[in-house]
Amino acid sequence: MEAGTAERMLATALVDRAGVTRPAETSVPGIFTSVMEAPDATLVFLNNASGKPLDKVTVRVKGITKTQKVESAKGTKLTHRIANGELIFTIPVENTDILHIHR
C-alpha cells in the first residue's frame, strides 16, 4: 500500500459518514482542496500530499454554472467545461497551487 493510503482512507470514511459535501474534488487521492468564495470569484486551493508531482489532475468544483475563465496562480490559463452543475478542468500539480475562477 502507498504511504499514507490508510490515513487518507480513514479521513475520507469519516467525512463521508458525517455527510459532508465536498465543494471540490480531484481525480487523484492525496490532493487536498479548500474553497474560498468572493463576490466575483472562487478560489480553489490545491495541496499535493501524494508525495510526487502529478502531470494530470482533474478538478471538479460543484455549484459553478458559468465562468469567464479559470487560471492558476502560476499564470496558466486552463481549458474548462461545465457539466451537471460542476466546473471541470485538468491541471498538473507539483506541490501546491491556487486556482482563480472568474465569474
Residue 40 near residue 102 (C-beta atoms within 8 A): yes
Is 6 contained in some domain?
A: no
Statement: the pTM of the whole predicted model exceeds 0.85: no
How far apart are alpha carbons 95 and 103 in whole angstroms?
Answer: 26
How many angstroms separate the Cα of 5 from the Cα of each of 8, 13, 30, 57, 83?
Answer: 5, 12, 8, 18, 30
In this structure, which amino acid lies at residue 67? T
In this prediction, residue 2 carries a pLDDT of 57
Number of compact structural domains in the chain: 1
Among residues 62, 35, 38, which one has the least CA distance to residue 46? 35
Q: Is the pLDDT score of 79 beyond 60?
A: yes
Is 9 contained in some domain?
A: no
Q: What is the pLDDT of residues 19-78, one digit of tens each?
A: 877 899 999 988 999 999 988 999 999 999 888 999 999 999 999 989 989 999 988 889
CATH label of the domain that carries residue 62: 2.60.40.1180
Is 14 contained in some domain?
A: no
Q: Is the pLDDT score of 1 beyond 60?
A: no
Q: Provide the residue range defining the domain that includes 59.
A: 22-102
Is 1 contained in some domain?
A: no
Is 13 contained in some domain?
A: no
Taking the chain, what is the end-to-end CA distance rounded to the nearest angstrom? Answer: 41
